[in-house]
Amino acid sequence: MSNSNILTKADVLKYLKTENLDIFVFESVTSTNKILKEMALSNAKEGTVIIALSQTDGHGRYDRKFYSDFGGIYLSVLLRPKLLNFDTTLLTSAVAVAVSNAIDEVAKRSTKIKWVNDILLDNKKVCGILCEGGFCGDDGFFVMGIGINACPTVNGLDDQIKNIATTLFDTYSPDILATLCARVIDNLFYEYSHLKSREFLTTYRQKSAVLGKKITVLSRGEIIGKATALEIDDDCRLLVEFENGEKKKLISDEISIKIAN
């Protein structure tokens, strides 16, 4: 561990098992996803990882602002899958399992996954995952962006998210951040290399915060109905039953859900 109170690349490498990655650690960036997408277009290799200690323009699904103050972990990983018709929902869900397991292992907590890719601790969001794709010539790439509310930030959580978000640890520690970053990256590459077997689905279902729950279904932020979450199928679609008895398989691209209290 370095003497500095700031997380460094050397700290992360100390705990990391995955080899041949290109890792960059910055104190502050606009958005790790944005930077990594630009690097992907300039031929950065699979396994390029950007870690930032804060972001000035962190974003989530539907371009929502992602609160990214010093204290959290903001991390993006570049993947260049060889398969045609690569399924982004499966990839994102597998990454959710990787991150949820990493958090549980390091923080000794028991997190849940809210379909499709939010990680909850005590029913509050502790991590968001954003998968963004692009093309470099004919070849597709994916940037997996992971934002974890790890340690308390100087000013505490933003008023707007205080009631729905939480942090993992009570005090700031670069050593904890390094351990968590390394575990997230190791688990992510494990799940990525086992994606075809879909073995992650068992854990994804076990950790589900939504199965059996009453939910509100939204399409691009607009409520489209209330339903009960019944099942997650092998393609990670969520089978729900609306109040009028209609059953539907939800696909994550357009749809988000809220869990009723």
| Residue ranges that bind ligand BTN, judged by CB under 6 A | 31-33, 55, 58-61, 64, 66, 74-76, 128-130, 145-147
Residue 60 CB, nearest approach to ligand BTN (Å): 2
Nearest residue (CB) to ligand BTN, 66 versus 142: 66
The span from the CA of 48 to the CA of 135, in Å, is: 16
Nearest residue (CB) to ligand BTN, 10 versus 164: 164
CA angle 219, 221, 226 (to 5 degrees): 60
Residue 98 CB, nearest approach to ligand BTN (Å): 15
Give the CB-side neighbour count of residue 149, counting CA atoms within 13 A. 26
Residue 78 CB, nearest approach to ligand BTN (Å): 12
Q: Which two tokens stand for residue 136?
A: 């470099």
Nearest residue (CB) to ligand BTN, 71 versus 147: 147
- For 136-145, b where at least 16 C-beta lie within 10 A, e where not — what string? eeeebbbbbb
Residue 33 CB, nearest approach to ligand BTN (Å): 4
The span from the CA of 32 to the CA of 127, in Å, is: 15
Reduce the DSSP state of residue 247 to 3 states and report it. strand
Which residue type, as a one-letter code, is found at position 75? L
The span from the CA of 25 to the CA of 8, in Å, is: 6
Residue 245 CB, nearest approach to ligand BTN (Å): 31
Nearest residue (CB) to ligand BTN, 114 versus 237: 114
Nearest residue (CB) to ligand BTN, 165 versus 227: 165
